[in-house]
A and B are shown apart, each in its own frame.
Chain A
Amino acid sequence: MSVPSDPFAGLLEGDVAGCCADLYELPAVRWLLDGQLHPGGRELTLRAARLAGIGAGTRVLDVASGAGTTALLVAGELGAEVIGVERGDGAVAQARTAAADAGLDGAVSFVAADATSLPLDDASVDAILCECSLCLFEDKPTAVSEMARVLRPGGIVVIADVTVEPDALPAKLRTAAARVACVADALPLDGYASLLRDAGLDVDCQEEHREAVAAMADRVESRLRAARIIRVAALEPWRSELSAAIELAGLAKQAIADGIVGYALTAARGPG
């Protein structure tokens, strides 16, 4: 994969979801996030899976499945059957390799597709997980109505996502670069509930996990600062940008501490 000279350049253009999916394939971004593409790590994924009622044999859709970490965890730990949908071709290939390496290629499969047009039949899955990616979708209502369409009656969707109080957000965090960090275009806590209700789902519960996003912002800031001290191959192309990125990470940390930015699980049930 070629590395663009400016990782954030494409973000100023229109096709944001595609751009972010590409960004997450960058070694620099992977290194900064410690390979963990959503806050809370495996603990919070397992918590979301519990809220979604996932167990052995559950048919699960993982929307924006990235490199397959969540799908493999849910299949490996809970015995679910998982389909991962992801826009980035590279990520899909990587996820397939990871599944084969883990001996789970019988239980999980990955498809390159857009979340606004899922290649699945109506009412074909028991549960849906969408971790830290709904906030990146330009057309959230369509993505959620697609989830509602493929979810069986009584099935559960769990959205894990960044929450934000947009009026209180510092202007700098609204820039395109902040969109990469899932901050600028996220919704308030009740925004996710409304979105799911508007798609005809019944909201079961919402759980706030601000500590998870605080830890992730801290990790990214620390890794940026470390990269300024020692040479980190993945970040060398952007050495001159590091100080600006550190400032942005600092603003994000402050916003989290102030309660302007958070992270939450929202669970909703398909009617019937």
Chain B
Amino acid sequence: MRDEVLLELTRSICPVCKASVDAELNARAGRVFLRKRCDEHGEFEALVYGDADRYLEIQRYNKPGDRPLLLQTETVDGCPHDCGICPEHRQHSCLGIIEVNTNCNLDCPVCFAESGTGHHADGFSLTLEQVESMLDAFVAAEGEPEAIQLSGGEPSIHPQILEMLAAAKQRGIRLVMLNTNGIRLARDPRFAPALAELGVHVYLQFDGFDDSTHLAIRGKRLQDDKRRALDRCADAGVSVSLAAAIERGVNEHEIGAIVRFGVEHPAVNGVFFQPVTHSGRHLDFDPLERVTNVDVIRAVCNQLPDWFREDDFIAVPCCSPTCRSATYALYDGDDLVPLPRLVDVEDYLDYITNRALPDLDVRRALEGLFSASAAGGTEPTGERLDCVACGVGLPPELAEVAAKGFMIVTQDFQDPWTLDVRKLMKCCVSEIVPDGRLIPFCAYNSVGYREQVRADLVAQRTASP
């Protein structure tokens, strides 16, 4: 008999054979674990949230989702085997990701995309035409998509990456991001100005400062390249989000330093923390001692106690509340003020019990807040802030706020051990694949879609003359 409380039943997959299995979410010793059993492969258990009280508390922030304009698949076998997006899905895609290649100029020990320098034989590189048709599929599904990220592999080494980014811009996608390790930015002085001209936002892998961190996560000491890449972005006027992969026992102690560095660097306007995904290629890990969002939040607060406290981080309501937490802060070189302290978040985000204010959300609260600040008589109007925390940032009317604003996000992607279909059904980050499907990110990496898509693309390449 285990000393635990059964919180919920859900469905997951066997990490070995990917078959659907029933799963339990249990609270034990103040934390939440997902346990499941495959008839063939036995029992599996993984930590999904590091604080049971907070896990239960933030369920209230679960906001009803929006349907996309278009669904690409039918529901046949049930989640997560019908991606996507199938009629069972409960949310549209705030962010679309296109992986343009598998080639990389690094061989990171933790790559969830299993990319690298030696993968020419079994890898792929999309054509501009393929990317354009994938962008069209995204526009068809979303109408006016909020954000797209071109990724890889290492997308910056694709010979037509600039044309691909331009194609995304031409389709009116508001935030076009390049997910990069920064090596080309550091070494090719023409690259940052070219991105600046296109208005592309850089999502730069940036895991910390210690040699041991770089060697464990990226396999190389890249500190100088990262700094050079950032300085070139600052010079060219390219805005950057730092994306930090966080692994237990590797770089948790650098979380505060990464935030401080980002806040102070002129090119950087946000940090995205991602506990390392145990999909694809990864370090040896103990699924019962993973880093979860609340661990990242606590590290930020413990390492920067003058700046942040735990209630500055809001569970983002558009996806499942335990998937992503975020805060937004104003900074002017002397003082830093987290925005959630300026509004009564509870009044706006409690979707379960909030009957009196059904229409209000943080977007309106922020609009109200800053309409009082409108400089030069310009008032922010109906601009969509819904997807702010999913990587979009504040609308252009709030230029001064945006210029002095800094966003911190922690996003705990699911892996084959932690996958919970209820969270997956609410996922708002989609991988766009060449046949026009939009596959929720965590399904793509956990269920076998990635392998399938890659095999199809490699087969096409070998079949073509």
Checking B342, B356, B373 against A231 with a beta-carbon cut-off of 8 angstroms, the contacting residue is B373
- Whether, in the assembled complex, A239 has its beta carbon less than 8 Å from a beta carbon of chain B, the answer is no
- Whether, in the assembled complex, A171 has its beta carbon less than 8 Å from a beta carbon of chain B, the answer is no
- Are A36 and B337 in contact (CB-based, < 8 A)? no
| A-chain residues with CB within 8 Å of residue B400 when the two chains form the complex | 230-231
- Are A232 and B373 in contact (CB-based, < 8 A)? yes
Checking A31, A34, A226, A234 against B344 with a beta-carbon cut-off of 8 angstroms, the contacting residue is A34
- Nearest Cβ distance between residue A98 and chain B, in whole angstroms? 15
- Nearest Cβ distance between residue B349 and chain A, in whole angstroms? 14
- Are B374 and A226 in contact (CB-based, < 8 A)? no
- Whether, in the assembled complex, B453 has its beta carbon less than 8 Å from a beta carbon of chain A, the answer is no
- Are B404 and A230 in contact (CB-based, < 8 A)? yes
Q: In the complex, which residue of chain A has the Cβ closest to the Cβ of B405? A: A230
Checking B338, B347, B373 against A233 with a beta-carbon cut-off of 8 angstroms, the contacting residue is B373
- Annotate A203-242 by CB proximity to B: 1 below 8 A, 0 otherwise: 0000000000000001100110110111111100000000
- Whether, in the assembled complex, A27 has its beta carbon less than 8 Å from a beta carbon of chain B, the answer is yes
Among B249-257, B294-302, B327-335, B427-435, which stretch is in contact with chain A? Answer: B327-335
- Are A219 and B342 in contact (CB-based, < 8 A)? yes
- Are B375 and A222 in contact (CB-based, < 8 A)? no
| A42–B354 CA distance with the chains assembled, in angstroms | 12
- Whether, in the assembled complex, B461 has its beta carbon less than 8 Å from a beta carbon of chain A, the answer is no
Residues 21-52 of A contacting B (Cβ, < 8 Å): 27, 31, 34, 36, 41-42
| A255–B121 CA distance with the chains assembled, in angstroms | 69
Given A36-B344, A41-B347: A229 and B337 within 8 A (CB)? Answer: yes
- Whether, in the assembled complex, B343 has its beta carbon less than 8 Å from a beta carbon of chain A, the answer is yes
Checking B337, B372, B373 against A222 with a beta-carbon cut-off of 8 angstroms, the contacting residue is B337
| B-chain residues with CB within 8 Å of residue A229 when the two chains form the complex | 330-332, 335, 337, 404
Q: In the complex, which residue of chain A has the Cβ closest to the Cβ of B341? A: A222
| B-chain residues with CB within 8 Å of residue A230 when the two chains form the complex | 330, 373, 400-401, 404
Residues 340-376 of B contacting A (Cβ, < 8 Å): 341-344, 347, 356, 372-375
Residues 137-180 of A contacting B (Cβ, < 8 Å): none
- Are B342 and A234 in contact (CB-based, < 8 A)? no
| A-chain residues with CB within 8 Å of residue B375 when the two chains form the complex | 231, 233
| A233–B347 CA distance with the chains assembled, in angstroms | 24
- Are A34 and B342 in contact (CB-based, < 8 A)? yes
- Are B356 and A34 in contact (CB-based, < 8 A)? no
- Whether, in the assembled complex, A190 has its beta carbon less than 8 Å from a beta carbon of chain B, the answer is no
| A-chain residues with CB within 8 Å of residue B342 when the two chains form the complex | 34, 219, 222-223, 226
| A36–B373 CA distance with the chains assembled, in angstroms | 18
- Nearest Cβ distance between residue B268 and chain A, in whole angstroms? 17
| A-chain residues with CB within 8 Å of residue B343 when the two chains form the complex | 34
| B-chain residues with CB within 8 Å of residue A42 when the two chains form the complex | 347, 356
- Nearest Cβ distance between residue B397 and chain A, in whole angstroms? 13
| B-chain residues with CB within 8 Å of residue A218 when the two chains form the complex | 341
- Are A233 and B341 in contact (CB-based, < 8 A)? no
- Are B337 and A77 in contact (CB-based, < 8 A)? no
| Residue of A77, A222, A229, A233 with highest tally of chain B CB at under 10 A | A229
- Nearest Cβ distance between residue A79 and chain B, in whole angstroms? 14
| A40–B167 CA distance with the chains assembled, in angstroms | 51
| B-chain residues with CB within 8 Å of residue A231 when the two chains form the complex | 373, 375, 400
- Are B373 and A225 in contact (CB-based, < 8 A)? no
- Nearest Cβ distance between residue B318 and chain A, in whole angstroms? 24
- Nearest Cβ distance between residue B394 and chain A, in whole angstroms? 11
- Are A27 and B341 in contact (CB-based, < 8 A)? no
Other A-B pairs beyond A225-B337, A233-B373, 10, CB < 8 Å: A31-B372, A41-B344, A218-B341, A219-B344, A222-B338, A222-B341, A229-B331, A230-B373, A233-B374, A234-B373
- Interface positions of B (Cβ within 8 A of A): 330-332, 335, 337-339, 341-344, 347, 356, 372-375, 400-401, 404
Q: What are 19 pairs between A and B in contact, CB < 8 Å?
A: A27-B372, A34-B342, A36-B344, A42-B356, A218-B341, A219-B341, A222-B337, A223-B342, A225-B335, A226-B337, A229-B331, A229-B337, A229-B404, A230-B330, A230-B400, A230-B404, A231-B373, A232-B372, A234-B373
